[in-house]
C-alpha cells in the first residue's frame, strides 16, 4: 500500500504538504531517515513524509553552546561537527541501529528529539527534552509555528519544546531544532565493581549516585551482557559486574575514582577493576546503543524508581532471557523470549505498585499492533492526552495511532 515518499526540502514545502493532507483528509506517516519506524505502534497512513531533505547545520556557536539544524540532518554529521570543537550532545543520544537493523549514524537529529532518546548520562545531565531549546514545526492544522528560542532560560509562554520532544511525530512535523551543546569532558574512566548478586551491586550503584563524586553512568551488566562487550576486561565473568563512569579534568577523575572505590569497599565483599578512557568510551557506547543485548529478541524498556530494581530483580531474572540495568537501576532493559513479547500485562502489573512505566521497544509488527506499546493511561489522563493531540492535529492526520490507538 506504500506510495512514494514525500520529501519536502523547505519549511514552506513541508507546510504545503501537510496543509494538503489536512484538506484531503489523508493521513501522513512522519519519519526522518526511518531508522526507528519499528518503534511504537504500527502506523497505517495513506502517505509517508520524510524530513531527510530538511538537512544542514545552520547555526553553530560553540561559545554560546548552541546549535541549530534542519531535522533531517544525520546524527553522524551533527556529532562530527561538534567533535571538531570538542563538544557533544551531553544527553548521549542512543542509536538503535543495532536493534532495528540500520547503519549507525543514519538517524536524524529530528528523530532523536521526537523519540526523546537519551543515553546513560541521562541520570546526571537530563534527557533529550532538557536540551531542546527551540523548534520550528508544522502542526497538524497545517500551520507553521515556532516554539522556544535559542537561549536556555526562557519561560515565555508554554514550553512547547518539551511537549514536542517525545511526541513521536503525532503533534507536528518539526522542521528545525535548536539545541544546547556542551563541552566534552577532558577524560573519563570506569570503575568496575564485581559482586555476588544483583541486590548488592544495585545497592552499590545507588550508594555511588548518592556520593558527591559526580558519577555520569551507572549500569549493572549481567554475565551474558558483559560477555558481549568488546572490552576484554568485562568478558572474564567470574562474578556479576557493575560499571560506574567518571568524567572531567584528569586530576579530578583520578581523585574521584580512588575515593569512589574506597567508599564502596567499606562494605567488603566487592572486587574492583578500572577501565581507561578508551575502554570507557567503548563500553558506554555499547550500553547506550543496546549492543550488549541480543539483537534478535523482543525488547522492553522499563523506567522505575532505582530502588525498585532491587525489589524486582529476582522477577526480572526469571522473566527475561537477557537483561541489563542502566541509570543506577532506574532503567531496565528486558530481552524476552519471542513467545513472551506480548506479555504486557504481566510486566506492567509488576511495576504497578511501584510507579514507573514500560515501553515495548522492539517486537514483531503483529505484536505491536496487538499490545499497547506505550504505557496505557488512566482515564482522565488519556482524555487529556487526546485533547492535547487534537489541539495540534484535530483531524488525526499525523502518525495516527503511533503512540496510542486513539492518538
Nearer to another protein, 154 or 294 (CB): 154
249 burial (CB, 10 Å; 0-12 / 13-18 / 19+) is: exposed
Task: List, in order, residues 6 or more apart from 379 with CB less than 8 Å away.
Answer: none
Q: Which residues in 184-223 contact another protein (CB under 8 A)?
A: 184, 186, 206, 209-214
Residues 25-84 that bind another protein (CB under 8 A): 59, 61-66, 68
Q: How far is the CB of 231 from another protein (least distance, A)?
A: 26
Q: Scanning residues 257 to 316, which ones bind another protein (CB under 8 A)?
A: 259, 303-307
Q: What angle do CA 166, 367, 395 make, to 5 degrees?
A: 50
CA 165 to chain centroid, in Å, comes to 11
Q: How far apart are CA 193 and CA 142, in angstroms?
A: 53
- 381 interacts with another protein by CB under 8 A: yes
Q: Distance (Å, rounded) from C-alpha 280 to C-alpha 303?
A: 24
Residue 341 neighbours by CB distance under 10 Å:
22
In the bound state with another protein, the residue whose beta carbon lies nearer, of 177 and 221, is: 177
Window of 91-99, 264-272, 282-290, 385-393 that interacts with another protein by CB under 8 A: 385-393
**Residue 205 vs 292, nearer CB to another protein:** 205
d(CA 14, CA 321): 44
Q: Measured from the CB atom, is 3 or 212 closer to another protein?
A: 212
Rounded least distance, CB 166 to another protein, Å? 5
Least Å distance, CB 50 to another protein, is 20
Nearest-5° Cα angle at 151, 9 to 92: 70
Between 32 and 120, whose beta carbon lies closer to another protein? 120
Neighbours of 405 (CB within 10 A): 11
Nearer to another protein (CB atom), residue 214 or residue 343: 214
The alpha-carbon radius of gyration of the chain (Å, integer) is 21
Give the whole-angstrom CA distance, residue 269 versus residue 160: 49
Footprint of another protein on 158-177 (CB under 8 A): 158-163, 165-167, 171, 176
Which ranges in 215-305 belong to alpha helices (H)?
223-227, 250-265, 277-288
The site string for another protein over 89-128 (x = CB under 8 A, - otherwise) reads ---------------------------x-x---xx--xx-
Q: How far is the CB of 346 from another protein (least distance, A)?
A: 18
Q: From the CB of 236, what's the least distance to another protein, in Å?
A: 31
Residue 313 phi, psi (nearest 5): -60, -35
SS3 state of residue 276: coil
> In the set 392, 399, 400, 402, which binds another protein (CB under 8 A)?
392
The kind and range of the H/E element at 68 are strand 66-70
Element containing residue 153 per DSSP (H, E): none
Residue with cell 537519551: 118
- Residue 267 main-chain phi, psi, to 5 deg: -75, -20
Closer residue to another protein in complex, CB, 181/234: 181
Contact between 245 and 148 under an 8 Å Cβ cutoff? The reply is no
DSSP state letter for 185 = P
Q: Is 399 in the site for another protein (CB under 8 A)?
A: no
Please identify, using beta-carbon distances, which residue of 206 and 245 lies nearer to another protein: 206
- Shortest CB 139 distance to another protein, Å: 6
98: which 3 cell numbers? 543495532
Residue selected from 6, 189, 221, 403 as contacting another protein according to rule CB under 8 A: 403
The helix or strand, by DSSP H or E, that contains position 372, with its residue range, turns out to be: none
To another protein, the closest distance from the beta carbon of 299 in angstroms equals 16
Query: Pick from 7, 9, 16, 57: which binds another protein (CB under 8 A)?
Result: 16
Q: How many residues bind another protein, per CB under 8 A?
A: 104
Smallest distance from the beta carbon of 59 to another protein, in angstroms? 7
Interface with another protein, residue 143, by CB under 8 A: yes
Window 312 to 371, contacts with another protein (CB under 8 A): 327, 330-331, 355-357, 359
Amino acid at each position: 500500500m506504500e506510495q512514494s515518499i514525500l520529501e519536502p526540502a523547505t519549511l514552506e514545502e513541508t507546510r504545503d504538504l501537510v496543509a494538503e493532507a489536512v484538506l484531503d483528509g489523508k493521513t501522513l506517516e512522519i519519519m526522518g531517515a526511518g531508522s526507528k519506524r519499528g518503534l511504537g505502534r504500527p502506523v497505517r497512513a495513506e502517505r509517508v513524509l520524510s524530513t531527510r531533505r530538511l538537512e544542514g547545520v545552520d547555526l553553530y556557536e560553540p561559545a554560546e553552546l548552541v546549535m541549530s539544524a534542519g531535522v533531517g540532518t544525520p546524527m553522524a554529521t551533527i556529532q562530527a561537527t561538534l567533535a571538531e570543537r570538542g563538544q557533544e550532545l551531553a544527553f548521549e543520544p542512543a542509536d538503535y541501529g543495532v536493534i532495528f537493523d540500520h547503519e549507525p549514524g543514519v538517524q536524524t537529529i529530528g528523530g532523536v528529539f521526537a523519540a526523546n532518546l537519551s543515553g546513560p548520562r541521562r541520570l546526571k545531565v537530563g534527557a533529550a527534552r532538557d536540551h531542546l531549546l527551540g523548534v520550528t514545526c508544522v502542526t497538524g492544522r497545517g500551520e507553521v509555528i515556532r516554539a522556544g528560542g535559542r537561549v536556555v532560560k526562557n519561560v515565555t509562554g508554554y514550553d512547547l519544546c518539551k511537549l514536542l520532544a517525545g511526541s513521536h511525530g503525532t503533534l507536528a512535523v518539526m522542521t528545525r531544532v535548536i539545541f544546547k551543546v556542551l563541552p566534552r569532558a577532558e577524560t573519563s574512566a570506569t570503575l568496575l565493581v564485581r559482586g555476588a548478586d544483583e541486590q548488592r551491586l544495585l545497592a552499590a550503584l545507588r550508594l555511588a549516585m548518592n556520593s558527591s563524586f559526580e558519577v555520569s553512568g551507572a549500569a549493572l551488566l549481567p554475565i551474558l551482557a558483559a560477555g558481549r562487550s568488546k572490552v576484554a576486561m568485562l568478558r572474564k565473568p567470574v562474578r556479576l559486574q557493575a560499571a560506574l563512569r567518571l568524567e572531567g579534568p584528569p586530576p579530578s577523575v583520578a581523585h574521584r575514582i580512588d575515593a569512589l572505590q574506597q567508599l564502596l569497599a567499606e562494605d567488603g565483599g566487592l572486587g574492583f577493576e578500572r577501565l581507561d578512557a578508551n575502554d570507557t568510551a567503548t563500553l558506554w557506547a555499547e550500553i547506550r546503543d543496546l549492543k550488549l543485548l541480543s539483537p534478535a529478541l523482543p525488547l522492553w524498556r522499563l523506567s522505575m524508581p532505582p530502588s525498585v530494581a532491587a525489589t524486582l530483580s529476582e522477577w526480572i531474572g526469571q522473566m527475561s532471557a537477557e537483561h541489563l540495568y542502566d541509570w543506577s537501576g532506574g532503567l531496565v532493559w528486558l530481552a524476552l523470549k519471542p513467545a513472551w513479547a506480548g506479555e504486557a500485562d504481566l510486566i506492567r502489573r509488576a511495576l504497578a505498585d511501584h510507579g514507573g512505566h514500560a515501553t515495548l521497544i522492539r517486537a514483531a509488527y503483529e505484536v505491536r499492533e496487538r499490545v499497547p506499546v506505550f504505557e496505557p493511561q488512566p482515564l482522565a489522563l488519556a482524555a487529556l492526552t487526546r485533547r492535547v493531540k487534537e489541539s495540534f492535529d484535530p483531524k488525526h492526520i499525523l502518525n495516527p495511532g503511533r503512540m496510542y490507538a486513539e492518538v
